[in-house]
């Protein structure tokens, strides 16, 4: 699950990480009031920041400096409600519904620091660079030597010498080295304790006044661990998520929208991946990934059809079910029942394989509904090709 920058800063702040907070606002008036309160505390310059579930906001015009309260109003008016396009949003962009108003810092240098899981090494990895502020992917590609990596065994935790090593590699010395090492340690603690899959600070800055502080923060949380953190689960902002994916989640369906024209409904993630390959081979493009899980019954199949058909790009649907524990005749009855309830205007091809596959085929063929059935993968692929008119 993704959270907004201001929420990531709240999480990190709770673990003592030095983050620059601010006030989040839904309206221009709220933003102005927040800036006025900051002014009373001695702040003279402000930064108005779009809050969307994507990075690269600065590049897209979603992060603006304001030199006065009037400018805060001006920038807030421009950013709130804008369709913000960044390298991470996709071409249509994302509507800005919230903004964060913060104090502008005197930046002496921008650093990058991030923590994530290195699955291959079965350890957490902390990555840091003196080249923060820009896209870290570019640095990693062009000048990988500018990224320092430290692997942390999660059962041992981050060691003090490791945190100090990173701080020194970033060029810090003396008391600042200790402060930076403390920052790294607290960041790692926050990552681990909140069951994050990513905790990333870009930029971490050294200010002209010598402070070390995070100006931006990104946290992704592990969905499977959210049950342990009701306070974090409550940070979910469904308005930022794909509406079809939200709907699928309610039916315990694993759905990811893609850009193609063939909708697919499959049981098991591996078979779903294989089916997507098959669709490509047949000359189509998968419109989605959809794993209906272990129980492909009438209810889940119907919800699956509705979700797939909400995508206007879908020109054909391929159902590919392997009957292991779930029997094909039951699945076939589910498909027939669901097809009666949902108005399916595109060709539907059903491939059943495994336990009671033939009985399943019979049920489909005798249903009186226009469903193409197949037992072999190749046969299913050919029928998809034919349905697409290729
Ligand atoms: P994004 O990564 O989505 O572009 P950031 O929060 O990192 O958004 O902001 C982009 C850039 O704007 C930062 O690299 C930094 O140079 C500048 N910036 C952000 N917040 C502040 C701030 N409070 N004071 C001064 N500069 C800032
Ligand atoms: Mg950033």
Backbone φ and ψ for 334, nearest 5 degrees, come out as -60, -45
* Ligand 1 close to Cβ of residue 357 (< 6 A): no
Among residues 104, 130, 165, the one where a domain terminates is 104
352, pLDDT greater than 70: yes
Catalytic residues: 112, 200
Band (pLDDT 50/70/90 cuts) for residue 334 is confident
Among residues 188, 223, 240, the one where a domain terminates is 240
Among residues 182, 210, 240, the one where a domain terminates is 240
Please indicate, yes or no, whether residues 71 and 149 belong to a single structural domain of this protein: no
pLDDT for residue 134:
67
* Ligand 1 close to Cβ of residue 215 (< 6 A): yes
Q: Residue 66: which residues within 8 A CB-CB, separation 6 or more?
A: 35, 45, 46, 47, 48, 72, 74, 75, 104
Please indicate, yes or no, whether residues 322 and 286 belong to a single structural domain of this protein: yes
| CATH number of residue 226's parent domain | 3.30.470.20
337, pLDDT greater than 80: yes
Look at the chain and count its residues. Answer: 390
Please indicate, yes or no, whether residues 187 and 314 belong to a single structural domain of this protein: no
Distance in angstroms (rounded) separating the CA atoms of residues 375 and 379: 7
Residue 162's Cα: distance from chain center in Å? Answer: 29
111, pLDDT greater than 90: yes
- Under DSSP, the state recorded for 285 is -
Please indicate, yes or no, whether residues 256 and 364 belong to a single structural domain of this protein: yes
Please indicate, yes or no, whether residues 111 and 200 belong to a single structural domain of this protein: yes
How far is the centre of ligand 1, averaged over its atoms, from the C-alpha of 216 (Å)? Answer: 6
Q: By the 8 A CB rule, do 339 and 306 touch?
A: no
Instruction: Please name which ligand lies nearest the alpha carbon of 58.
Output: 1
Distance in angstroms (rounded) separating the CA atoms of residues 238 and 26: 16
Please indicate, yes or no, whether residues 380 and 260 belong to a single structural domain of this protein: yes
Other CB atoms within 10 A of residue 35 CB: 29
* Ligand 1 close to Cβ of residue 58 (< 6 A): yes
For 47-78, the pLDDT digits (tens) are 999 999 999 999 999 999 999 999 999 999 99
Which structural domain, as residue segments, surrounds residue 155?
1-20+106-240
Please indicate, yes or no, whether residues 251 and 341 belong to a single structural domain of this protein: yes
Please indicate, yes or no, whether residues 166 and 129 belong to a single structural domain of this protein: yes
pLDDT for residue 186:
98
Least confident of 113-127, 243-257, 281-295, 370-384: 370-384
* Ligand 1 close to Cβ of residue 203 (< 6 A): yes
* Ligand 1 close to Cβ of residue 105 (< 6 A): yes
- Residue carrying the six token digits 């094909």: 328
Band (pLDDT 50/70/90 cuts) for residue 390 is low
Please indicate, yes or no, whether residues 85 and 221 belong to a single structural domain of this protein: no
Give 40-81 as a DSSP string: HTT---EEEEEE-S-S-TTTTT-EEEESSHHHHHHHHHHHTT
| CATH number of residue 318's parent domain | 3.40.50.261
For 290-320, the pLDDT digits (tens) are 998 777 777 888 899 999 999 999 999 999 9
How far is the centre of ligand 1, averaged over its atoms, from the C-alpha of 112 (Å)? Answer: 12
Share of the chain above pLDDT 90, in %: 72
Please indicate, yes or no, whether residues 166 and 231 belong to a single structural domain of this protein: yes
Could you tell me the pTM of the whole model? Answer: 0.84
Please indicate, yes or no, whether residues 87 and 193 belong to a single structural domain of this protein: no
For 28-50, the pLDDT digits (tens) are 999 999 999 999 999 999 999 99
Band (pLDDT 50/70/90 cuts) for residue 372 is confident
Test site for ligand 1: of 23, 53, 216, most ligand atoms within 8 A of the Cβ: 216
Positive or negative: CA dihedral 312, 313, 315, 318: negative
Share of the chain above pLDDT 70, in %: 99
Q: Could you give the number of structural domains in the chain?
A: 3
Residue 294's Cα: distance from chain center in Å? Answer: 25
For 175-224, the pLDDT digits (tens) are 999 999 999 999 999 999 999 999 999 999 999 999 999 999 999 999 99
Strand-pairing partners, residue 262, are 286, 316
pLDDT for residue 318:
93
Please indicate, yes or no, whether residues 210 and 309 belong to a single structural domain of this protein: no
Test site for ligand 1: of 64, 215, 218, 219, most ligand atoms within 8 A of the Cβ: 215
The mean pLDDT value for 267-281 works out to: 90
| CATH number of residue 28's parent domain | 3.30.1490.20
Distance in angstroms (rounded) separating the CA atoms of residues 152 and 137: 22
Band (pLDDT 50/70/90 cuts) for residue 79 is very high
């Amino acid at each position: 699950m993704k959270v907004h920058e201001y929420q990531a800063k709240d999480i990190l702040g709770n673990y003592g990480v030095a983050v620059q907070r601010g006030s989040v606002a839904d309206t221009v008036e709220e933003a102005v009031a927040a800036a006025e309160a900051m002014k009373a505390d001695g702040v003279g310059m402000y930064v108005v920041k779009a809050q969307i579930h994507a990075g690269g906001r600065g590049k897209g015009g979603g992060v603006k400096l304001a030199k006065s309260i009037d400018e805060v109003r001006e920038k807030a008016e421009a950013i709130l409600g804008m369709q913000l396009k960044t390298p991470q949003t996709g071409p249509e962009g994302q509507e800005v519904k919230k903004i964060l108003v913060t104090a502008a810092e005197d930046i002496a240098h921008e650093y990058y620091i991030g923590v994530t899981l290195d699955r291959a090494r079965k350890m957490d990895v902390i990555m840091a660079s003196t080249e923060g502020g820009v896209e870290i992917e570019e640095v990693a590609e062009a000048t990988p030597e500018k990224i320092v990596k430290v692997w942390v065994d999660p059962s041992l935790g981050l060691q003090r010498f490791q945190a100090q090593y990173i701080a020194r590699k970033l060029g810090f010395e003396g008391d600042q080295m200790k402060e930076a090492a403390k920052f790294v340690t607290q960041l790692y603690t926050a990552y681990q304790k909140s069951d994050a899959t990513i905790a990333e600070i870009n930029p971490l800055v050294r200010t002209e006044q010598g402070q070390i502080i995070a100006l931006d923060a990104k946290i992704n949380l592990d969905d499977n661990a959210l049950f342990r953190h009701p306070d974090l689960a409550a940070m979910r902002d469904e308005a930022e998520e794909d509406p079809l994916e939200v709907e699928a989640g309610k039916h315990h369906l694993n759905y990811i929208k893609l850009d193609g024209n063939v909708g697919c409904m499959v049981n098991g993630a591996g078979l779903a991946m294989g089916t997507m390959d098959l669709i490509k081979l047949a000359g189509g493009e998968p419109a989605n990934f959809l794993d209906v899980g272990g129980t492909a019954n009438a209810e889940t199949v119907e919800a699956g059809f509705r979700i797939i058909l909400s995508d206007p790009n879908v020109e054909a649907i391929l159902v590919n079910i392997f009957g292991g524990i779930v029997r094909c005749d039951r699945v076939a009855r589910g498909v027939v029942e669901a097809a009666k309830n949902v108005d399916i205007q595109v060709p539907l091809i059903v491939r059943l394989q495994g336990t009671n596959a033939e009985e399943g085929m019979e049920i489909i063929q005798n249903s009186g509904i226009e469903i193409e059935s197949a037992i072999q993968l190749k046969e299913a692929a050919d029928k998809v090709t034919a349905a697409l008119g290729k």
